[in-house]
Amino acid sequence: MKIVKIILALIVLGLSAYQLITENFVIPYYMLIVGAFMLVTGLVELQKDRKGGFLGCVIVSLFLFFVSLQGLLMN
């Protein structure tokens, strides 16, 4: 899980840098990756027996997935 979390964090960082440099905002893809990152963070919190952190991360990740899918379908 730690490796997946690091890979997703690097993708988010790279995509953020790309958006800042080129001013070409690809928000739905960014939200999708951040949602996956939050889901993995929630699973790590579940493994540590932190139910509150797990629930918060899962709710945020579901919201991000919904927003990203809505953005992809609107364009």
pLDDT of residue 2: 87
More confident residue, 40 or 28: 40
pLDDT of residue 25: 80
pTM of the model: 0.84
- pLDDT value at 63 more than 90: yes
More confident residue, 75 or 41: 41
3-state helix, strand, coil in the chain (%, to 5): 90, 0, 10
Query: Distance (Å, rounded) from C-alpha 35 to C-alpha 18?
Result: 18
DSSP for 6-56, please give it: HHHHHHHHHHHHHHHHH----HHHHHHHHHHHHHHHHHHHHHTT-HHHHHH
